[in-house]
Structure formats: structure tokens, C-alpha cells
Amino acid sequence: MIYKRKVQFYETDAQGIVHHSNYPRYFEEARGYYLEKLGYPYDKVRKDLKTDIVLLELIIEYKKPLYFGDSFEIKFGISEMDKFFFSFEYTVIKNSSIIAIGKTKHACLNRNTGKIISIPDILRSKLNGT
């Protein structure tokens, strides 16, 4: 999947370069966009499935900078999934140039107990594209 975005001024440092702390936010925006496209946005997962999706691991490798006003895209998708965990891989691209690559690992929690649960079947099937 592809998520497109433009760098906002508040995301930059004094040199006009995107601060490194924004890349996890970009990844989260992309995941939210993905879940919306699947018909299961975060609020529906929380309300209907009584489940929270939590971040367990985040890895980012920065290759080149982004600057204020740059348009870029994030190519991303599910890279791994088992009964309890799933991971996304991300490639941030500007003008065919790789800006950053990343990976996140997630689990589902029961909203009442806060304990890890298996990925709900409906969510698993949506993430698998079935």
C-alpha cells in the first residue's frame, strides 16, 4: 500500500530538516490509513473488538533527509504475522529516492484486562487480505 504526505513546517528542526522523531508518527499515520482502507479503523477495532493494537518494536534506518515542503510517500505492508504478533515494513520515498526504511512489530491487547490476546479472526483476515 502507499500513503502520501507532505512535510509540514512544525515537523522540521532549525535547519528545515524533518526531525527524526517524526518518522514513527508517519508510520503510525500509514497504519491508521491502512486500517481505514480495510474497513477496520482504530476506533472500530477498539469499540467492536474490544482490542487495542500496541507497538512492541520500532526500527528505523535513516538514509537521506526530508525538508519542509517535500512531498513523499510511504510504501508499506504486512511483512510477518503469526497468532499473536504482526509486523509492518516501510519504505519512505521522495522522487524515487529512498529516504528511510523501517519496521514495526505489534500485538493486540484485551481492552479490559490489558493482556496480550491472539489477533482477532476478523482483523487477521483483513490484514491477510482475505
Asked if 3 and 73 touch (Cβ cutoff 8 Å), the reply is: yes
Quick check: helix, strand or coil at residue 130? coil
Distance CA 107, CA 11 (A): 28
Q: Please name the residue that has the C-alpha cell 538514509.
A: 63
Annotation says 121 is catalytic? no
Q: Which residues contact 58 (CB under 8 A, 6 or more apart)?
A: 24, 27, 102, 103, 104
Q: Are 77 and 89 in contact (CB under 8 A)?
A: yes
Within a 10 A sphere around the Cβ of 65, how many other Cβ atoms?
16
User: Among residues 13, 43, 48, 82, which one is catalytic?
Assistant: 13
CB of 117 closer than 8 Å to CB of 49: no
- Active site members: 13
